[in-house]
A and B are shown apart, each in its own frame.
Chain A
Amino acid sequence: MAIKSLGEYNFPSRSAAENYGDDQLVSVWFQDTLWFAAPVMFRAPRAMTWAEFKDQLFVPFAEEDPDYDPAAGRTWTLHGKPFEPQDGQSLADLGVRHKDVIGTRVAA
């Protein structure tokens, strides 16, 4: 449904990718715990490798949970499907887009 308006109504997104330079917004959604009340959002370079993403952004956030086990294997999902990121791949290589949400849980 088009917006009903007195004049032309077309304004840009305030969160568009170009506002973040070489970086993008990426959220991580903990699917097996309610300890974190909502998914966490990071700003991460598109060229950042998966290993860097985990070590520099994911782990420091996740280890605030007293039950966080760094040794536990984790499964990951992207766009609702399981995916198996490799440490050396960049976020861009992995197909992680601006504002994408990466799901995670401890592997069964």
Chain B
Amino acid sequence: MTLAPEKKSKKTKKLSMKARYEALTRGLDWEPSYVAKDEMFPHLDYEGIKIHDWAAWEDPFRLTIDSYCKYQAEKDKRLYAVLDGFAQGQGHLSLTDASYLNAMKVFIQGVTPLEYGAHRHFAYLARHFAGPGPRFAALCQSIDEIRHMQTEIHTLSNYNKYYSGMHNWPENFDRVWYLSVPKSFFEDALSCGPFEFLIAVGFSFEYLLTNLLFVPFMSGASFNGDLPTMTFGFSAQSDESRHMTLGLEAIKFLLEQDEANVEIVQGWIDKWFWRSYRVTALVAQMLDYMLPRKVMSWKESFELYFEEQMLGGLFEDLAFYGIKPPRHVEDAIKEKELLSHQVYWTLYQFSFAAGFTTTAPTDEHLDWLSQAYPDTFDKYYRPLWEKEKKNIENGGRHFARGLPQLCQVCQVPMLFTEPGEPSVLAQHESEFEGEIYHTCSNGCQWIFDREPEKYRQAWLPVHQILQGNCGGPTVPDVLEWYGLQDGDAGEYIGSRDHKNWVAWQGEAAADTAAPTEKAGA
């Protein structure tokens, strides 16, 4: 028997991208026959969201697993080539200053674990949504998020060889006081149902505020000689823009499915705008204080990425569905002149118990701040730093001799002021089942009063330290329990990182100077 050569006309045709996507996602879906559909997807009703047609979900990217992997692998190759080159060439010595890395310490301690949290919950959405389109989109995002966590770790691990504060970030995240801000934020989202999580993280965090969160860190890296982090940023950027598109698709999908969804979604936007916005407080101080070479002020960043792009663009489009700008957004706008100063002043006086160091701004830095914040800095904050300058000259250094009162919702110390009254610290009090709870703002109080059962369980670091659950009653006990070591915390000037930096810069200068001297001799 001979086999006839296959005729050309029988050759299988290659499917178009669209057809491949259809075949590999929606084509693999099936109707359950052994169990009822609501048994297979048991978490879709209790939040009150109504979905009538899952097929109406439009996936704007039409990715398939093979194209996804190919694309990501190429990006990884480029990133890891940069990381290798940077490590081999002692690239860390060309940073603007070792103090720049305080921003990256906050990033790996506070942001990287959120990527892992997002990975977990998008995997949950990939299991629980009843439509193959959103399930597949959630699966891709879940893989993105764990990739981001891994690439961030690899990007920053080179610095960990030479600098403090990056050696114990997963445990720091679970224990250290200021890291309870991002941790409790994300755990709040992780304990939501699938639809609220989609609005919390997919929309509010990844769409509304993602540019405010992400761009400052990456631009800061580029301005301060941190090539690896900048390259990581580029590598993640295309994923982030996909996440933003999905966040927007998600909200439109929910709003179009049923009119009754609008009110529920509005409540989530109101809550999650404020929750996410409070987390950006850490970014605000980073931009204005931690970067040796400045990119833009927090105020400028807020105006561009939030007021112009979101309030001016997005919410005008969403008005079509009956969605209003987030509740308390006016308070956030009023705060843009104050936020970074209040937060850094707090970190400055509590950095004796942190995984980073702080230092008083130089005169040049103070002048930059005065210029960037002409209406507030000279009036409220410059006098504090001038007083601190004298304090330092007299042998002091402002470290608070106690623990701060914390907000029950955002867990930030109660450092914020009442809207329009920059010298009046805000104190909001709610009572629930006989116990009083304090919140830092109208936004956090509204969130507490809406779901007091949720927030009363908060693991507030200060309350836990005072309860004796954090290693012991003294500061060294707590620092040991945090897993912090000498050199991680405190004042930057004279710290281990600072001393090493000065010594290494001296050696580097001597190395480059030596041949020139010889040549001249």
Contact = CB atoms under 8 A, between A and B. Distances in A.
A25 B436 CA distance: 11
Contact of B46 (A6, A14, A43): A6
Contacts of A99: 435-438
Interface string B375-395: 000001000100100110010
B193 A40 contact: no
A101 interface: yes
A14 B345 CA distance: 28
Given A4-B193, A37-B349, A64-B398, A14 B390 contact: no
B384 A35 contact: yes
A6 B196 CA distance: 13
Contact of A61 (B345, B402, B423): B402
Secondary structure call for the A interface? loop
B346 A9 contact: no
Interface string B29-54: 00000000000000100111000000
A5 B451 CA distance: 11
Contact of B404 (A4, A14, A20, A39): A39
Contacts of A42: 402, 466
Interface residues of A, number: 41
Contacts of B384: 34-35
B400 interface: yes
Contact of A41 (B394, B402, B458, B459): B402
Interface of B: 43, 46-48, 193, 342, 345-346, 349-350, 380, 384, 387, 390-391, 394, 396, 398-406, 413-415, 423-425, 427, 429, 435-438, 450-451, 453-454, 456-460, 462-464, 466-467
Interface of A: 1-6, 9-17, 19-20, 25, 27, 29, 31, 34-43, 60-61, 64, 66-67, 97-101
Given A20-B466, A38-B415, A39-B404, 15 more contacts: A4-B47, A6-B46, A9-B453, A12-B456, A14-B460, A14-B463, A15-B460, A16-B435, A20-B467, A27-B438, A29-B427, A34-B380, A38-B425, A66-B390, A99-B438
